[in-house]
């Protein structure tokens, strides 16, 4: 009788808390956004497989992700103001809040304790405890003009700081979070018309905001705030006759390779190679369409580029030493995003209209895997946890 009782009890205990989830490291995982269905898939880059689908994340158009420093939790920033903490080991939502009405991106502090979200409506930044998503600080984005502004281009920076731009006010703010409940704000006004996105170089030194209303970018040296915001790369948004702009390029996609930054020329079928120290244009390379993301392979030699409609079935590979396009790929319709494995031996592409993810070997350009996904957009590997500004 004891034996007959033992078996089901052990089975029960295994089912309840033991058999799943499996013990495993988290360095080779990732998440892909399925924008149409409000779901994400958890990805495994070692086996090039999908481990699970997690649903119920709301409106994920234009969603992005930051990772906890332990690479276990993904913070998903939704377009609808949703902030969802996903446990990628238990493959489920750990916590979810609606923190604003209309949002565009977020960031996590270097020490992993604070998650910040940029809000369009109501315009400002909200800062949450990374553990339980309780509100720590609310920073309304009221510009020098007295009006509340949309916030864009939010990034983390060394020195316990967040940096972001006020679209309507034309300002850049640096928030010092040493006392998380009392952020100290350093405000830069009149930085240019309508900053629409921002990026930080991978060393955490330069913050650049792209300007929708003017040529060039607003550039802030975070090592020398006293020098103020300067204008750079006026070529970025200007080059003779303009074509209609189908999609403003993403600034996060600017390929920073240590010495050079590669960025899409707004409205042109060109990418610009600029010197990352002087922020001057070095060269301009013709490409297959209006570039959206220009992403450097981790070795900084290749830059992979995708394009806006109608060329969004194409990906081109720029070889930086020779400044030439060495490969043109046609992965399928609607290539929205691309992400390299941290040492660069794989690159994953989301092909929205074909409902699949394609995986390539960047050395041979051979396709080494394909996975089904529903309208995939952003792909985010956990290695981002270890990088400044991601």
Q: Which residues bind a copy of itself (CB under 8 A)?
A: 2, 5-6, 9-10, 13-14, 17-18, 21, 23-28, 45-46, 67-73, 89-90, 110-112, 156, 158-160, 203-205, 223-224, 257-259, 276-277, 298-301, 321, 341-346, 363, 382-383, 385-388
Cα 181 to Cα 134, 138, 175, 333: the distances in Å are 12, 9, 11, 46
Closest contact distance (angstroms) between CB of 73 and a copy of itself is 7
Read off the tokens for 97: 């809040």
> In degrees to the nearest 10, what's the CA dihedral of 158, 70, 130, 98?
110
Closest CA to 287 of 323, 259, 322: 323
Interatomic CA distance for residues 164 and 195, integer angstroms: 10
Closest contact distance (angstroms) between CB of 252 and a copy of itself is 17
Closest CA to 291 of 278, 273, 277: 273
Q: Which is nearer to a copy of itself, 257 or 316 (CB)?
A: 257
Q: How many other CB atoms are there within 10 angstroms of residue 371's CB atom? A: 17
The edge-to-edge listing of strands for the beta sheet with 367-372 is 335-340, 347-351, 356-360, 367-372
Q: Which is nearer to a copy of itself, 55 or 111 (CB)?
A: 111
Interatomic CA distance for residues 189 and 156, integer angstroms: 20
Closest CA to 41 of 96, 85, 95, 91: 91
Q: Which is nearer to a copy of itself, 46 or 328 (CB)?
A: 46
Q: Which is nearer to a copy of itself, 101 or 258 (CB)?
A: 258
Closest contact distance (angstroms) between CB of 23 and a copy of itself is 6
Closest CA to 195 of 173, 167, 221: 167
Closest contact distance (angstroms) between CB of 246 and a copy of itself is 32
Closest contact distance (angstroms) between CB of 150 and a copy of itself is 27
Closest contact distance (angstroms) between CB of 1 and a copy of itself is 10
| DSSP assignment string, 281-317 | EEEEEE-SS-EEEEEE-TTSSEEEEEE-TTSTT-EEE
Interatomic CA distance for residues 281 and 292, integer angstroms: 19
Contacts of 377 (CB under 8 A, 6+ apart): 32, 33, 34, 35, 60, 61, 62, 63, 336, 337, 350, 352
Closest contact distance (angstroms) between CB of 208 and a copy of itself is 16
Q: Which is nearer to a copy of itself, 242 or 367 (CB)?
A: 367
Closest contact distance (angstroms) between CB of 134 and a copy of itself is 18
Closest contact distance (angstroms) between CB of 303 and a copy of itself is 13
Which region holds residue 376: left if phi is over 0, alpha if psi is between -120 and 50, else beta?
beta
Q: Which is nearer to a copy of itself, 110 or 210 (CB)?
A: 110
């Amino acid at each position: 009788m004891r034996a007959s009782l033992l078996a089901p009890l052990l089975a029960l205990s295994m089912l309840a808390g033991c058999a799943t989830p499996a013990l495993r490291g988290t360095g080779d995982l990732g998440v892909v956004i399925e924008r149409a269905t409000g779901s994400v898939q958890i990805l495994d880059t070692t086996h090039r497989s999908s481990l699970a689908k997690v649903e119920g994340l709301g409106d994920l158009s234009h969603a992005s992700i930051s990772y906890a420093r332990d690479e276990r939790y993904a913070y998903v920033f939704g377009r609808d103001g949703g902030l969802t903490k996903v446990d990628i080991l238990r493959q489920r939502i750990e916590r979810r809040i609606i923190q604003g009405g209309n949002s565009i991106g977020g960031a996590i502090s270097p020490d992993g304790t604070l998650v910040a979200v940029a809000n369009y409506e109501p315009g400002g930044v909200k800062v949450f405890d990374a553990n339980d998503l309780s509100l720590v600080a609310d920073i309304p984005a009221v510009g020098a003009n007295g009006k509340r502004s949309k916030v864009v281009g939010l990034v983390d920076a060394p020195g316990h700081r967040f940096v972001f731009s006020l679209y309507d006010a034309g300002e850049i703010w640096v928030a010092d979070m040493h006392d998380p409940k009392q952020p100290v704000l350093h405000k830069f006004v009149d930085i240019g018309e309508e900053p629409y996105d921002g990026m930080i170089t991978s060393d955490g030194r330069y913050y650049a905001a792209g300007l929708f209303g003017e040529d060039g970018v607003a550039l802030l040296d975070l090592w020398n705030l006293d020098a103020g915001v300067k204008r750079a790369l006026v070529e970025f948004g200007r080059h003779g006759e303009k074509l209609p702009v189908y999609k403003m390029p993403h600034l996060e996609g600017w390929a920073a390779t240590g010495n050079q930054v590669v960025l899409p020329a707004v409205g042109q079928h060109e990418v610009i190679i600029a010197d990352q120290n002087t922020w001057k244009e070095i060269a301009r390379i013709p490409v297959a369409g209006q570039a959206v993301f220009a992403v450097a392979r981790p070795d900084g030699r290749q830059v992979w580029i995708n394009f806006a409609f109608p060329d969004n079935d194409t990906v081109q590979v720029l070889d930086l030493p020779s400044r030439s396009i060495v490969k043109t790929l046609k992965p399928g319709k609607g290539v929205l995003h691309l992400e390299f494995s941290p040492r660069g031996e794989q690159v994953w592409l989301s092909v929205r209209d074909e409902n699949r993810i394609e995986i390539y070997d960047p050395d041979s350009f051979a396709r080494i895997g394909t996975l089904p996904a529903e309208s995939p957009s952003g792909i985010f590997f956990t290695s981002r946890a270890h990088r400044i500004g991601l």
